[in-house]
Structure 1
Amino acid sequence: MRLLFLGDVVGRSGRAALLETLPKLRERYAADFVVVNGENSAGGFGISEVILTELLDAGADVVTTGNHIWDQREALVFIERYDRLLRPVNFPAGTPGKGAGLFKAANGADVLVVNALGRVFMSDLDDPFRAVEDELAACGLKLGADAILIDFHAEATSEKQAMAHFVDGRATAVIGTHTHVPTADEQVLNGGTAYISDAGMCGDFDSVLGMDKEEPISRFLTKIASRRFAPSKGAATVCGVGIEVDDATGLARAIAPIRLGGRLSQAEPAFWLEEA
């Protein structure tokens, strides 16, 4: 099985690049299942219903989110109508929507996707480790799911690495999101779980984390907010990872970065291109 994950979509530039690129990537890589983190897709803050349907129509099987999930207040309502939109699983009981789901891949496999939010330097939600453990206990690898992908939306790399080792051998992949900067630590852990600290963003990297540079720089210099952050509108790089899954075990055989367009160095999974 081939899993494709694309990182935080930021603003109009990132959204346009993702919508143009994703259908081509699904075909180019023969991807069986695609997850996109869309929590910054609406002007850099949250996700709207219109944008959600655009991402799904472009080829995303599931859209995950993070700490900005409720920035667009309409999400509190429309999330109940879309099983394929996830919010972090460790929000308190009674929060609209759901944080995990079992979805059908193009090859017929059942893929469990879990979206969790870290707590270090973030909002103090319920324990993400126990929340993820509950989901794995309810639908384990090869005991209910053919593959398990966890989007861990967190600030601290230590917390992300701890989560990956916590589920190593019990999940196909733990993909870090939130910091918008792609890391170079993609690897398959000892137990067979693919991991990267951050998949990066789909956005303009001539920016500060996808935002126009002037306001963030001003705030660092003056400690005063003069206006709202606004997404940068330059050419976007589409960032993510490709994961090759062993169908017999549900564990990862390989993981590789994806960086296409924009100003970053370009990268694609060689193990997929060689087979094309």
Structure 2
Amino acid sequence: MPVKLLFVGDIVGKPGREALSRELHRIVDRHMIDLVIANGENAAGGFGLTVETANELFKCGIHAITSGNHIWDKKDALDFIKREGRLVRPANYPEGTPGRGSTVVSTPGGTKVAVLNLEGRVFMNNLDCPFRTADREIAQLKTITPIIFVDFHAEATSEKASLGWYLDGRVSAVIGTHTHVQTADERILTGGTAYMTDVGMTGPFESVIGVRKEEAIEKFITQRPSKFEVAKKDIRINAVAIQIDEKTGLALGIERISVPC
């Protein structure tokens, strides 16, 4: 039997969380989803994740939370990330960094799904190589399950596409996050891996990637530091649904989703 995963794009603040609370169950039913993964690094006030907001996401039906460079913005998440097995940070942070870079969760039917989080290096932090880190993580995860989902939190399209092709045929999906702009290039690569450069954002679209547009414009004009606040209008859920062969771990289908709320 195929397994169907839903991956929800970067959740931005309270508007994104409330939209999921209202609409996630409808999306799950409509697309016959078995397991839900979401990027939650911006879920608390637009920057970072707290224990409270993480538990709110789990309560509304998310089975695993991925993250990225903003996972460290809220200090109370540091202890939480050490003990919460359903929350992952990029695996290519240096040895000794709190938390884990991958996890394995199960569908209600008992199928194991591995979730691997990686962060890019182009225009971002100088981390360990995501390609070599992926090799190590995948070798271990393959001993548990053939179904491996990869959230690649990266800025550059070229780096995301390169990792997609590098892992083609070895993982079920490579889906990008971080830019908050949903791309229209979803496809199954020649080796059977589902790919999409960026899944997009769950939050306010009358904004600049989630923050109030006036504040973002002001910063560009003045070049002065600015405290960003999450916008509130035109809320949408960006996501992608991926159908995967349970035995081979290869993708059978991929569908881009954008739901106004």
Partner of 1:214: 214
State how far apart, in whole Å, the 1-side matches of 2:183 and 2:27 are.
Answer: 21
Deviation at 1:30, TM superposition (A): 2.3
Deviation at 1:186, TM superposition (A): 0.3
SS at match of 1:171: coil
Work out whether residues 109 and 146 of structure 1, in 8 Å CA contact, stay in contact via their aligned partners in 2.
no
- TM-score of the superposed pair, with normalisation by structure 2: 0.96
Aligned pairs, number: 259
Work out whether residues 146 and 247 of structure 1, in 8 Å CA contact, stay in contact via their aligned partners in 2.
yes
State how far apart, in whole Å, the 1-side matches of 2:31 and 2:254 are.
Answer: 13
State how far apart, in whole Å, the 2-side matches of 1:188 and 1:197 are.
Answer: 12
Partner of 1:251: 250
Partner of 1:233: 232
Work out whether residues 5 and 35 of structure 1, in 8 Å CA contact, stay in contact via their aligned partners in 2.
yes
Residues 142-194 of structure 1, C-alpha deviations (whole Å, 9 max, x = no match):
x4313110000000000000111011000000010000000000000000000
- Residue type of the alignment partner of 1:244: Q
State how far apart, in whole Å, the 2-side matches of 1:220 and 1:258 are.
Answer: 31
Which deviates further from its counterpart, 2-11 or 240-249?
240-249
Partner of 2:168: 168
- TM-score of the superposed pair, with normalisation by structure 1: 0.91
| Superposition pairs of residues 1-276 of structure 1, within 5 angstroms | 1-140=3-142, 143-225=143-225, 227-262=226-261
SS at match of 2:135: helix
State how far apart, in whole Å, the 1-side matches of 2:14 and 2:75 are.
Answer: 19
State how far apart, in whole Å, the 1-side matches of 2:212 and 2:252 are.
Answer: 39
SS at match of 2:229: coil
Alpha-carbon RMSD: 1.1
State how far apart, in whole Å, the 1-side matches of 2:221 and 2:62 are.
Answer: 40
- Percent identity between matched residues is 48
SS at match of 2:158: helix
Deviation at 1:234, TM superposition (A): 1.3
Structure 1 residue runs of 5 or longer lacking an equivalent are: 263-276
